């Protein structure tokens, strides 16, 4: 099987030291933000603090996901622990949805029964929050392009930065006009934005866990390209899936034309090279045959106790 063992994308531009420092900074600032928010009676600031707490937890999980992905394969985990990062991304997106739902609920309650708010402490703390969140997001940005786990933590931090900007806007409006609904309205708007952002990560993580085809891969185009290779007569029992971000796998049965039976190794090599170079499928297992298989369906429906054998 063609295998590329260098797929540790989550480490791109992201050191363990920076991630650890991000965790410490986030939790320290969360405590400050919640205490000031309670004192100033600002729902937006307290909500931002609660969301910051989930950010800190998300960063801890992301740190663990990076460590787990580096563990080698074993008899118990033959792919290693690459899927841990996907599970963490799924969990992080769910916490984003839940925390956003809580923020929206509390904001609606505050709209019905407004409470007086001290705007100046809100503006000062929220301004500092913007700096902290953008700093951590900057550290996570590069790794977020290659790892859904880091991307979920990155969305947490960007969401919080936007939330903090919204808190500043609400604080300024209240300071200038005394209009109290500005605080919960800002909270609702940013809560909706976070729901929208986290929903995409949730869908992507779920798709990977359900063994869906790699994101952005046109399977029909890939199959058509494989059938153009000289010596390939038919492809069936095809499965293509994502193990983890940037690590795609494929298995299939490849029927070689009778006149090319002696060149089977060359045919398989060309198939693997095409998969890797043109479609980023670097983990492929290909079973070859010269006689017609009992099941020639392109996509095989798996069943418990199912066996798929044929003469070579």
| Count of residues making up the chain | 312
Q: How many domains does the chain have?
A: 2
Q: Is the dihedral of CA 139, 192, 93, 110 positive or negative?
A: positive
What are the DSSP calls for 215-277, one per residue? TT--HHHHHHHHTTSTTEEEEEEEEEEEEETTEEEEEEEEEEPGGGGGGHHHHHHHHHHHHHH
Question: Is 281 within the bounds of a domain?
Answer: yes
Domain shared by 189 and 223, yes or no: no
What is this structure's pTM? 0.71
The domain boundary residue, chosen from 209, 236, 254: 209
Domain edge (last residue) among 187, 209, 231: 209
Q: In this structure, what CATH number is given to the domain that contains residue 99?
A: 1.20.1510.10
The answer to whether 73 and 79 have CB atoms below 8 angstroms apart is yes
Do both 55 and 191 map to the same domain? Answer: yes
CATH number at residue 226: 3.30.70.1350
Regarding whether 112 and 65 lie in a shared domain, the answer is yes
What are the angstrom distances between the C-alpha of 189 and each of 10, 79, 100, 128, 302? 31, 42, 10, 21, 45
Question: Does 73 reside within a domain?
Answer: yes
Q: How far apart are CA 240 and CA 284, in angstroms?
A: 9
Q: What is the spatial distance between Cα 186 and Cα 163, in angstroms, rounded to a whole number?
A: 8
Give me the residues paired with residue 288 across strands: 254
Residues 122 and 25 in one domain: yes
Q: Are 38 and 183 within one domain?
A: yes
Task: Please state whether 286 falls in left (phi above 0), alpha (psi between -120 and 50) or beta.
Answer: beta
Q: Is the same domain home to 200 and 222?
A: no
- What secondary structure does DSSP assign to 158-185, as a single string? HHHHHHHHHHHHHHHHHHHH--TTHHHH
Q: Domain range holding 307?
A: 211-312
pLDDT per residue of the chain (312 residues) written in tens, 0 to 9: 333 443 444 444 455 567 778 888 888 888 887 888 788 777 667 766 776 777 777 788 777 777 777 777 778 877 777 788 788 888 888 888 887 888 788 889 888 888 777 788 778 888 888 888 888 888 777 766 667 777 777 877 887 788 778 888 888 888 888 888 888 888 788 788 778 878 888 898 899 988 889 988 999 999 999 999 999 988 988 999 998 877 899 999 998 888 887 889 999 999 999 999 999 998 999 998 766 655 556 666 655 555 555 444
pLDDT of 19: 75
- Give a yes or no: residue 152 inside a domain: yes
How far apart (Å, rounded) are the C-alpha atoms in residues 142 and 151?
9
pLDDT of residue 291: 60
């Amino acid at each position: 099987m063609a295998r590329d063992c260098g797929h540790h994308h989550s480490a791109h531009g992201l050191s363990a030291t920076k991630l650890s420092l991000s965790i410490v900074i986030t939790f320290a600032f969360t405590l400050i933000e919640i205490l000031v928010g309670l004192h100033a009676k600002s729902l937006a600031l307290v909500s931002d603090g609660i969301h910051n707490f989930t950010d800190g937890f998300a960063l801890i999980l992301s740190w663990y996901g990076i460590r787990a992905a580096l563990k080698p394969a074993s008899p118990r985990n033959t792919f290693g622990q690459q899927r841990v990062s996907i599970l963490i991304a799924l969990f992080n997106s769910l916490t984003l949805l839940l925390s956003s739902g809580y923020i929206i609920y509390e904001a609606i309650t505050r709209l019905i029964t407004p409470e007086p708010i001290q705007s100046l402490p809100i503006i000062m703390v929220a301004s500092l929050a913007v700096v902290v969140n953008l700093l951590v997001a900057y550290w996570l940005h590069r790794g977020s392009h290659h790892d859904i786990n880091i991307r979920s933590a990155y969305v947490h931090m960007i969401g919080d930065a936007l939330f903090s900007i919204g808190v500043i806007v609400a604080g300024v409006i209240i300071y200038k006009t005394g209009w109290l609904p500005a605080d919960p309205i800002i909270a609702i708007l940013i809560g909706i934005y976070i729901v929208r952002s986290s929903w995409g990560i949730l869908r992507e993580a779920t798709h990977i866990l359900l063994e869906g085809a790699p994101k952005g891969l046109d399977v029909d185009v890939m199959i058509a390209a494989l059938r153009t290779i000289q010596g390939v007569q038919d492809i069936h029992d095809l499965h293509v899936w994502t193990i983890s971000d940037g690590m795609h796998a494929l298995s299939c049965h490849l029927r070689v034309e009778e006149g090319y039976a002696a060149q089977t190794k060359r045919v398989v090599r060309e198939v693997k090279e095409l998969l890797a170079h043109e479609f980023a499928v670097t983990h492929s297992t290909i079973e070859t045959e010269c006689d017609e298989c009992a099941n020639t369906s392109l996509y095989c429906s798996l069943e418990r106790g199912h066996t798929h054998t044929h003469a070579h």
